[in-house]
């Protein structure tokens, strides 16, 4: 199985690129959303760690946002609790897809959390700043302060770019994206 890790800035279109490969995708952000909605055990752990901020199940993202903005250690607490569960989910995904030729890992903190393996193919998604900001502002949960907090815990984009095997310039035109993906798949198979 070939593992492809998708890297890039917040709002660069990593999930869009991941979907366009046409292979099974592990999307960490979607998995976190499911945990917040359906996993009472995670809620209980988060509530114990952040009793002043979390009150209702399913987890209200506004409460998470308040906790992150209130104190810089809160983000670390959340990550510690949530990422352990996300790793379990990823391992289940990998087991369930072990017979697939290619799988895609759409995990925002792939390198930061040392989830990638030595042989993984890393693809950096590059998008212009104006386009990224436009897309980010369209998100329901857009909050510039939160974005800045997340950027602080991420490795630099230059570092991620250097670590990558390929770069996809994402202009959100499916034609050019599909062409680049076809080229990459031919190179790695």
Which sequence spans correspond to the domains of the chain? 1-24+102-189, 29-96
Contacts of 144 (CB under 8 A, 6+ apart): none
User: What is the Cα–Cα distance from 145 to 65, expressed in whole angstroms?
Assistant: 9
Q: pLDDT of the chain along its 189 residues, tens only?
A: 999 999 999 889 999 999 999 999 999 999 999 999 999 999 999 999 999 999 989 998 889 999 999 988 999 899 999 999 999 999 999 999 999 999 999 998 899 988 899 999 999 999 888 878 787 888 777 787 888 888 888 899 999 999 999 999 988 777 889 999 999 999 998
Nearest by Cα to 117 from 91, 89, 99, 92: 91
The pTM of the full predicted model, rounded to 2 decimals, is 0.90
CATH class of 1-24+102-189: alpha beta
């Amino acid at each position: 199985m070939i593992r492809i890790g998708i890297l890039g800035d917040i709002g660069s279109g990593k999930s869009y690129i991941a979907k366009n490969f046409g292979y099974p995708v592990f999307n960490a952000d979607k998995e976190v959303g499911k945990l917040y909605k359906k996993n009472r055990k995670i809620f209980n752990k988060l509530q114990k760690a952040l009793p002043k901020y979390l009150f209702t199940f399913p987890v209200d993202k506004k409460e998470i946002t308040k906790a992150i903005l209130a104190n810089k250690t809160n983000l670390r607490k959340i990550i510690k609790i949530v990422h352990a569960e996300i790793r379990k989910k990823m391992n289940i995904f990998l087991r369930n897809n072990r017979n697939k030729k290619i799988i895609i890992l759409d995990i925002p903190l792939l390198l930061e959390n040392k989830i990638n393996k030595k042989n993984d193919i890393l693809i950096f998604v590059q998008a212009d700043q104006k386009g990224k900001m436009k897309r980010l502002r369209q998100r329901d949960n857009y909050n510039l302060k939160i974005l800045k907090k997340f950027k602080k815990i991420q490795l630099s984009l230059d570092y991620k770019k250097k670590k990558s095997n390929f770069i996809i310039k994402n202009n959100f035109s499916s034609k050019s994206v599909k062409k680049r993906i076809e080229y990459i798949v031919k190179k790695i198979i």
